[in-house]
Chains A and B, each alone.
Chain A
Amino acid sequence: MTDQSTRPLVELRNVSRKFGSKGDIADRIAQRLKLAKPKPVVHAVDSVDLSIRQGEVLGLVGESGCGKSTLGRVVAGILPPSEGDLYWKGSDRSRLSFADLKAADLATQMIFQNPMAALNPRMTVEDIVTEAPHSHGMIPGDRRAYADRYLEMAGFDPAMKRRYPHQFSGGQRQRVNIARALAVQPEFLVCDESVAALDVSIQAQVINLFMDLREQLDLTYLFVSHDLGVVEHISDRVAIMYLGRIVEEAPVEEVYARPNHPYTRALLSEVPRIEVGKRKFEAIKGELPSPLDPPKGCHFHPRCPFAMDRCRSEVPKIREVASGHRSACHLNDG
C-alpha cells in the first residue's frame, strides 16, 4: 500500500493558508499613511508539499496549534488555500470544471473532532445522513433504507434514527458523523482528531471501524492527530508538522524506528511505552512559539538542542534522507 508507483489521490504543492484581515477602509488608509501597523497575519500552514496516495492512510502529527487541523481542512476543500495548488487525482482543483469540482468535493469528506458540533441539532439522525445524498440525487430508492444501510455500516443501530443528536453519547454521535460522511460515497476521508474527544475504549472501537471501512470501501485517509500511539497503529505513512511546516515524512515503521528530525525524536521520546527503565525522558523545552511571529530560519531552532547559526537564518529544505523518508533539517547536510 505504500508502493511508490501508486498515483497520488491528493497532492499539495507549496500550499499556504494565512488568517487575518487587511482591515476595513479606514484601517487600510491608516496603514498606507504609516499611522497604523499592519494587522497581524497567522501563517497556519506555511508552504506545505504533501501527497496522499490512493488507498493509504497518512497520519499527520503535531502539537496543538501547529496548523494540522487547518491543513486538514484545506485538504478537505473546506478552506481554500491562500497560496499554492491542490491537485485532485492529478489535476489542479482550481482548473476543474464545476461538475468535476463538485464530484471532487463529494469524494472528500471530513470527520470532525467534536461530534456534537458537527451534527445539526435540529435534524434527526436519519435526515442528517440522507440530506446531502438526497439533494444530489444519489438515493436510488427508499430514503429510509438508504439511511439504514449507512448507519449500519457505521455501527449505529438504525432503530434509533428518528432521534436527535443530543440523545446520544459521544461515540454514537461520532458514528452518525461517519455515516453522514459515508452516505455521499466518498473515496477519501479527512479525520480531524476524530477520536480525541472519545474515551479510550470508544476510541479503539472507532479506530477499528475506520480500518474495517478502509477494507470494505477502499478508502484513503488523512488522519490528523496529536496521539502518536493511535497514528502508529492506523497509518501507513506519517507526516510530522511543526508550526505550519511539514518537518518529516516517512513510512510509519521508518519514523518510529529511525526518526531523523530533532523534533520528531523529541516527540517520540514522549510516547509512553510498555518497556520499563533505561529510557531517558526529556521533555521538549519551551512552548510552541506564536504563529503570529514565528522564529526566522528553522521554526524549531529555539527549542532544538542541536541548533546552529545556520538554523537561525536559513529555512531548511525538506529532502530525502532515505528511500521514502524526507526530512527538513540542516544536520542532514553535514
Chain B
Amino acid sequence: MTQTDAFTFDAPEEAEPMSPGQLMRRRALNHTGFLIGSGIIVTLALIAIFAPLIAPHDPFVQSLSSRMLPPVWDPAGSWDHLLGTDQNGRDYLSRLIYGTRVSISIGLGAATVGLLIGVTLGVVAGYFGGWVDHAVSFALTAQLALPGLLLAMALVFIIGPSIWVVIGIIGVLHWTYYLVVTRAATQRLRNLDFVAAATASGATPRQVIWHEILPNLIPQIIVIFTFELGIAILAEASLSFLGVGIQPPTPSWGLMIAEGKQAMFYRPWLVVLPGLSLFTLVIGANLMGDGLRDITAPEGRN
C-alpha cells in the first residue's frame, strides 16, 4: 500500500530534477528504519532535556516506608508510582527518566571522542602511508592488546569518577574501529583517479583529505558512530555496574541494573526496566545510523 504510493511518487523524478536536499528529505520519509530509529532517539533526547518537567517525583528523595513497590500492572501496584520504587523507595520512573541524560550524553560524548581520534589517525595513516602508517598501526596493535574494560576501570579509579572522566576514558578506548575502517577506505580512495585529478588541479593534501576523501568516508563513519554509541552506553553501564562509573545517587541505567541485581528474582522489573531502556536506545541509534547512511548516499539505498 504505502510501498506502491512511494513508487508512483518516484516516477516523475526524471522530469523535475530535485535538489540534493529535497531528495534526501524524500528518502528520509520513505525509510522505515530511519523513521523508527530517529523517532526513538528524538523522543529519548526530549525526555533527557525535559526530565525535570516530565518526572513525576524527585529521583533523589528516599522513602523507607515505600521500598520496592511493584509497578502499576502488578496487583499490588499503585498509580502513584507507575513503575514502582527501588530499594531506597525512590520513584523508578523518575530515575529512569533522569538516567536517560547520563546514557545519551555518555554515548554521544564517548562516540565523538573516539571518532575524532580514530578518523584522524585512520585518514592520515591511509593517505600518507610510509612511516606514519607504521606508527599508527603500532598504536592500533598496542590498543588492541590492552584489556579495555580493565584499563577503563583502572583509569577511572586513578582519576576519580565523574561524567566527564567516564566520557573521556570510554572515548579514548574506543577508536580502533574508526581507525581500521577509515584507514582501509582511505588507502582505496587515495588511488582512485578523482584524487589524482584533484592533485593535478593543484589541490594540497589537506584539500584532498577534506574534499575528496572525507565526504566518501561519511557512510562508514556514520555506521561506526552509531555502533560505538551503543557500545559506549553499554560500557558506561558496565563501569557503573562495577561501581567505578557514575556514582550514586546519580541515576544511571547501568547503576540501576547493578543496584537491582540482588533482588532480581523477586523484583525482576528493577533489572528489566533499565535493561529495556538501554536496549531501546541502542536499537534506536543503530536504526538511525543505518538510515542516515542510506539517505546520504548520492545513489540512494533502501
Contacts and interface: CB of A to CB of B under 8 A. Distances in A.
A145 B19 CA distance: 18
Interface in B45-89: none
Given A113-B193, A136-B201, A166-B299, 18 more contacts: A77-B200, A102-B202, A105-B202, A109-B201, A110-B197, A112-B193, A117-B192, A118-B193, A118-B196, A118-B197, A120-B216, A122-B216, A131-B198, A131-B211, A159-B17, A164-B298, A166-B298, A181-B197
B298 A110 contact: no
Nearest to A25: B134
Contacts of A184: 201-202
Interface string B209-221: 0011001101000
A108 B19 CA distance: 33
Contact of B202 (A106, A117, A165, A177): A106
Contacts of B212: 120
Contact of B215 (A78, A110, A120): A120
A230 interface: no
A163 interface: yes
Interface residues of B, number: 23
Interface in B180-214: 192-194, 196-203, 207, 211-212
A132 B201 contact: yes
B200 A109 contact: yes
A160 interface: yes
B198 A132 contact: yes
Contacts of A102: 202
Contacts of B198: 120, 131-132
Contacts of A106: 201-202
A175 interface: no
A68 interface: no
Nearest to B14: A167
Interface of A: 24, 73, 76-78, 102, 105-106, 108-110, 112-114, 117-124, 131-132, 135-136, 159-160, 162-166, 177, 180-181, 184
Contact of B20 (A109, A114, A124, A132): A124
A165 B202 CA distance: 22
Contacts of A164: 20, 298-299
Contact of A122 (B17, B200, B218): B218
- Report which residue of A77, A118, A184 has the largest number of chain B beta carbons within 10 angstroms of its beta carbon: A118
Contacts, number: 80
A119 B196 CA distance: 10
Contacts of B203: 132, 135
Given A102-B202, A163-B17, A112 B298 contact: no
A106 B198 CA distance: 10
Q: State the majority secondary structure of interface residues on A.
A: loop
17 contacts: A77-B200, A78-B196, A109-B201, A112-B197, A117-B194, A120-B194, A120-B216, A121-B298, A123-B211, A131-B198, A135-B202, A135-B207, A162-B17, A163-B17, A164-B20, A164-B298, A177-B197
A177 B194 CA distance: 9
Nearest to B216: A122
A114 B193 CA distance: 8
Contacts of A119: 194
B188 to A, nearest CB: 11
B294 to A, nearest CB: 14
B17 A160 contact: yes
A123 B207 contact: no
Interface in B1-33: 17, 19-20
A132 B194 contact: no
B178 to A, nearest CB: 19
- Report which residue of A120, A135, A181 has the largest number of chain B beta carbons within 10 angstroms of its beta carbon: A120
Interface string B161-195: 00000000000000000000000000000001110
A122 B19 CA distance: 14
B196 A110 contact: yes
Contacts of B215: 120, 122-123
Contacts of B20: 124, 162, 164
Contacts of A181: 197
